[in-house]
Structure 1
Amino acid sequence: MGEYLKALSSYERSLEIRKIALPSNHPDLATSYNNIAMMYDKMGEYSKALSSYERSLEIGRIALPSNHPNLATSYSNIGIVYDNMGEYSKALSSYERSLEIRKKALPPNHPDLATSYNNIGRVYSRMGEYSKALSSYERSLEIWNIALPPNHPDLATSYNNIGTVYDNMGQYSKALSSYERSLEIWKIALPPNHPKLTASYNNIGTVYSHMGEYSKALSSYERSLEIDKIVLPPNHPNLATSYNNIAMVYDDMGEYSKALSLYERSLKIWKIALPPNHPNLATSYNNIAMVYDNMGEYSKALSSYERSLEIDKIVLPPNHPDLATSYDKIGMVYDNMGEYSKALSSHERSLEIRKIALPQNHRDLAISYKNIASVYSHMGEYSKALSSF
């Protein structure tokens, strides 16, 4: 975090000088605003990042031809921020505008086109529109296969993304195949302890975990942790991620004390390494809450879920799907505690958000209706339960 602040200070000083020395719409000012935005984005301060990226775009639109590649980059950067904020329709619009410009400005198999298709695929994936995501990712891979050497890292990224979609679709053998192809390329293209390898082992571990092959999942996650311990400082956020992943496997195996210990180790690192309201802290509190929930310690679970929600309400837009998930989990704890009115209120808030944020046939809407019906059933209001199903 400290390095980002130093970089931000330097970029802001550079902007001050350029404002004095250059005309108000000089392209170098656009570059300065872009650099400042990148730092805010990395710090998770998305509204500030968006403001700076938009100022950069304003200057670029005045100073450059309408289909200049730099404008495509600006739209792409704005899309990334909206993507991080969970405003997927806005992200998609920006990414598609970027793609339109690149199609006009660049050769048909230019790598930047692959980047655009990749970004669009990522948004569709996050929206749960996996067939559209897969189509975009595969178009991206086609271009990269033509434009890049056979073991270029971007190909590994493409296989990795395709693996993630297959994983979300429950097609685990295809997911595993894509992730392993990604790992093969990264092993050739990168040094043996490169962070990308840890990400790859993490993803393979996740698939094995979903398949219920917990020993293989642990092996992959532990390999990832080994690399992280070699290349990273002791309180680096990636170590927290590794501990978190291993904890999830123990949680799935019902070894709750081991899971809780590792989740708490992960949280301790993230508290040191990250700003106090960083989304990863919300994830950490959420995971700790799930363990307490599984152990039947509902008051502790509720406390951790509520802390997670507090952070998410600060960093996310008011109708982000993750908020709906948090309200759902809090509702389930209240349901288990027999506090049905509070449970119903939380599930209904979850449903409100999902109606706004998600496509009308998204599976999470069905989960919300099911949870509401379950509470009504526990309250003995069976007609209301039936109407909710």
Structure 2
Amino acid sequence: EAIALGEQVLTDTERILGPDHPDTLRTRHNLAVSYGQAGRIHEAIALGEQVLTDTERILGPDHPDTLFSRSSLATFYRQAGRIHEALPLLRQVLADRERILGPQHPDTLTTRHNLATSYRQAGHTQDAIDLLQQVLADSERTLGPHHPNILASRNNLVTSYLDAGRTQDAINLSEQILADSERILGPHHPNTLQTRRNLASSYWQAGRTQDAINLQEQVLADRERILGPH
């Protein structure tokens, strides 16, 4: 429904405002995001590349809409498995946002987090850990220790610890995240269930098989009840 409406809006804005109007560019960008969310990733990339070219030409390379378009295109590349095209784009976005918005701006922190996730996906585990630890420290100072974004950064750091074989670090952090997630989001929130699953994986990797089984059985029962059996 979002795509159908977005395509209609784009047709109308191109006809009424013209193809180069900033509102047309934003509409085109929103449609590309909808394509990506629907799994139509090749259409998302094609439209995202067009939007980035147009915004750089019309609004300039440092305009917030241009930075947002560049970040979205990097996300599309990452979703398509084109990680080595996503990495330089994210590095550029991060450098631009640090220069224009400052190193502690929420958008800068989000970009740093996305770059760390891409590093992990590319197998650059230590780079991912170093960046996630920096993001976590900055986010806790800027947003506070209980912000939902903090929990997401911690969960990604757990996964990176597991990738690096740092199992005890992963367990310690997972147990802390789970306690915070249950208190802040509630015991049945999807993020809490994911955290519980990550902790079970950490237990399993550490050889604590029975602890892992017990926790996974709890996660499975909760997900079947909350999300449904299918």
- TM (norm. structure 1) is 0.53
The match for 1:103 among 7, 10, 14 is: 14
For structure 1, the residue ranges without an aligned partner over 5 or more in a row are: 1-89, 314-326, 328-348, 350-389
| Corresponding residue of 1:127 | 38
| Corresponding residue of 1:183 | 94
Q: Cα 1:136–1:283, aligned 2, differ >3 Å: closer, same or farther? A: farther
| Corresponding residue of 2:151 | 240
Q: Cα 1:143–1:278, aligned 2, differ >3 Å: closer, same or farther? A: farther
Contact 2:84 2:122 in 1 (8 A): no
The match for 1:196 among 93, 101, 107 is: 107
Deviations 1:190-217 (A, max 9, x none): 0221111211111111121112221111
Report the 3-state secondary structure (helix = DSSP H, G, I; strand = E; otherwise coil) of the residue aligned with 2:103: coil
Alpha-carbon separation, structure 1, partners of 2:94 and 2:48: 17
Q: Write the mapping of 1:200-219 to structure 2, written as runs, cut at 5 A.
A: 200-219=111-130
Give me the CA root mean square deviation. Answer: 2.3
Report the 3-state secondary structure (helix = DSSP H, G, I; strand = E; otherwise coil) of the residue aligned with 2:20: coil
Aligned residue type for 2:43: K
Aligned residue type for 1:304: V
Residues 1:306 and 2:221 are matched in the alignment: yes
Contact 1:124 1:133 in 2 (8 A): yes
Q: Write the mapping of 1:154-173 to structure 2, written as runs, cut at 5 A.
A: 154-173=65-84
Deviations 1:110-162 (A, max 9, x none): 22222222222223223333211101211221232133232122222211111
Counting matched residue pairs gives: 226
**1:275 Cα deviation after fit:** 6.2
Deviations 1:3-52 (A, max 9, x none): xxxxxxxxxxxxxxxxxxxxxxxxxxxxxxxxxxxxxxxxxxxxxxxxxx
Q: Write the mapping of 1:1-389 to structure 2, written as runs, cut at 5 A.
A: 90-274=1-185, 278-292=189-203, 294=205, 295=207, 296=209, 297-313=212-228, 349=230
Deviating more after overlay: 270-279 vs 188-197 = 270-279
Deviations 1:305-359 (A, max 9, x none): 432454444xxxxxxxxxxxxx6xxxxxxxxxxxxxxxxxxxxx4xxxxxxxxxx
User: Identity of counterpart residues, as a percentage?
Assistant: 27
Higher relative contact order (CA 8 A, sep 6+): 2
Q: Which has the greater radius of gyration?
A: 1
For structure 2, the residue ranges without an aligned partner over 5 or more in a row are: none
